[in-house]
Amino acid sequence: MRPFADFGSYDAASTAEIARRAGVRPEQVVRFDGNTSPRRPASARPEALADELGRIHTYPHGGYPELVEAIAAYVGVAPDNIVLGAGADDVIMLVVRSFAGTGDRVEIANEPTYPLFRIAAGLAGADADGGSQTALTICCRPNNPTGELGELPSARPLVVDEAYFEYSGVTALDLLDEDVVLVRTFSKAFGLAGARVGYAVARRELADELNRRQAPAPVSTLSAALALAALDAPPDVAPVVEERERFSGELRALGLEPLESRANFVAVPLADGAALAEKLLLRGMPVRPYRDGIRITIRDRDDDDLLLTALGGLLGDERT
Ligand code: PMP
């Protein structure tokens, strides 16, 4: 394998590992670090899988036309504009390796941002910091970890990671003809992170090029069935948005200064986010540390109140 300088993998502790370190049972761990939905969607039932289970010994011959059509209708484009993948991550890696190769530069906007962009650039042989020519620019909107909407870079081609689109309602869809590629997912608002279904939206010729470079059948038929069932009733994000605002208010009451977020998480600037994150993890409530603070996923009122109580205690300890 080629050597990789400065190459960090993307990893997060398992719930079993966190439970062991916190001295609790795995069911007692409440994760505030994954930006996923707190509950499984009502559509994710065994019945949604029955037909595909009956065909599980066969390949998804001919692809996933029903799912592609349903996604296209949801986004408001034609099926030819859709590229499926095993989660947004798979789609990001596909797009990056399709546009960028050895020696190229991949420009990453809005750092700190989603760490996979840099990894995808490295895997493609490109470089996020050097390289002679910018082959691709990537921007995450709303940005992870800050939740901010930010300006779109004017560079093209441009990938806009809209993993949290449903929460913000803001999209770059009207820029498809300008070589802007959107990346979306079923992992966040749709509550299907374990199913691993994501997609790109691109102008037709570009979508065709990407599809030709994609693995033959990147999504399991069971996951495709779950995504299709979920599209019958797209999620209502209003409760999460409302809870995010309540939660941010409570954080401010604790003396913290959460950033204004348009996603299902809030970033809290802190001098030593890693230390506080470690203490919360040892209470079975992991949050995500980032360079200048912690990022907290919004769950629901009961879960979020548990975290607020723990935070209040820990900050109180620090002040005494
Ligand atoms: N993009 C961003 C900005 C994310 O935060 C995440 C989830 N961590 C992903 C993509 C990956 O999503 P998926 O589960 O669809 O691979």
Give the tens place of pLDDT for each residue, 262-290: 999 999 999 999 999 999 999 999 999 99
At 2 the pLDDT is 63
Domain shared by 85 and 121, yes or no: yes
* Position 307 in a domain: yes
Tokens of 266: 């809030």
Q: Residue 124 has which token pair?
A: 């493609």
pLDDT of residue 1: 63
- Residues of the chain with pLDDT below 70 are 1-10, 319-320
Same domain, yes or no: 249 and 281: yes
**Residue 108 in domain:** yes
Number of domains, the chain:
2
Q: Are residues 136 and 285 in the same domain?
A: no
- Residue where a domain terminates, one of 203, 231, 259: 231
Do residue 85 and residue 193 come from a single domain? yes
Tell me which residue range forms the domain holding 212: 46-231
Nearest CA to ligand 1 atom 12: 88
Q: How far is the CA of 166 from the centre of ligand 1 (A)?
A: 13
pLDDT tens, residue by residue, 56-65:
999 998 889 9
The residue whose CB lies within 8 Å of the most ligand 1 atoms, and thus the one to mutate among 11, 35, 114, is: 114
27 and 64 housed in the same domain? no
Measured between alpha carbons, how far is 16 from 204 in angstroms, rounded to an integer? Answer: 44
**Of 92, 144, 146, 219, which is best to mutate to test ligand 1, by the most ligand atoms within 8 angstroms of its C-beta?**
144
Q: Are 202 and 79 members of one domain?
A: yes
Pair 198, 246 in one domain: no
Look at residue 5 and tell me if it is in a domain: no
Which sign, positive or negative, has the C-alpha torsion 115, 117, 123, 128?
negative
Here the CATH number for the domain that contains residue 51 is: 3.40.640.10
Neighbour count for residue 269 (Cβ, 10 Å): 15
If you measure from the C-alpha of residue 308 to the centroid of ligand 1, how many angstroms do you get, rounded to a whole number?
Answer: 26
Residue 187 in tokens: 């992992």
- Is 26 within the bounds of a domain? yes
In this structure, is residue 1 part of a structural domain?
Answer: no
Determine, yes or no, domain membership for 4: no
Q: Are 274 and 215 within one domain? A: no
Is the CB of 142 inside a 6 Å radius of any atom of ligand 1? no
Q: Is residue 88 part of a domain?
A: yes
One domain for residues 51 and 197:
yes
| Any ligand 1 atom below 6 A from CB of 37 | no
Give the CATH number, domain containing residue 243: 3.90.1150.10
Q: How far is the CA of 225 from the centre of ligand 1 (A)?
A: 20
Closest by Cα among 30, 33, 25 to 302:
30
Residue 102: predicted pLDDT: 93
Check whether residue 193 and residue 248 sit in a common domain. Answer: no
The closest of 115, 106, 105 to 159, measured between CA atoms, is 106
What was the pLDDT predicted at 133? 86
Q: Return the pLDDT at 318.
A: 74
Distance 144 CA to ligand 1 centre (A): 9
Pair 224, 85 in one domain: yes
For residue 197, which atom of ligand 1 is closest to its CA?
15
Report pLDDT for 291.
Answer: 84
Asked if residue 240 and residue 179 are part of one domain, the reply reads no
Phi first, then psi: give them for residue 117, nearest 5 degrees.
Answer: -60, -45
6 lies in some domain: no
CB 134 within 8 A of CB 108: no
Residue at a domain's end among 202, 231, 260: 231
Element (H, E) at 166: helix 165-168
Domain-terminating residue out of 231, 246, 277 = 231
CA 206, CA 180: separation in Å to the nearest integer? Answer: 10
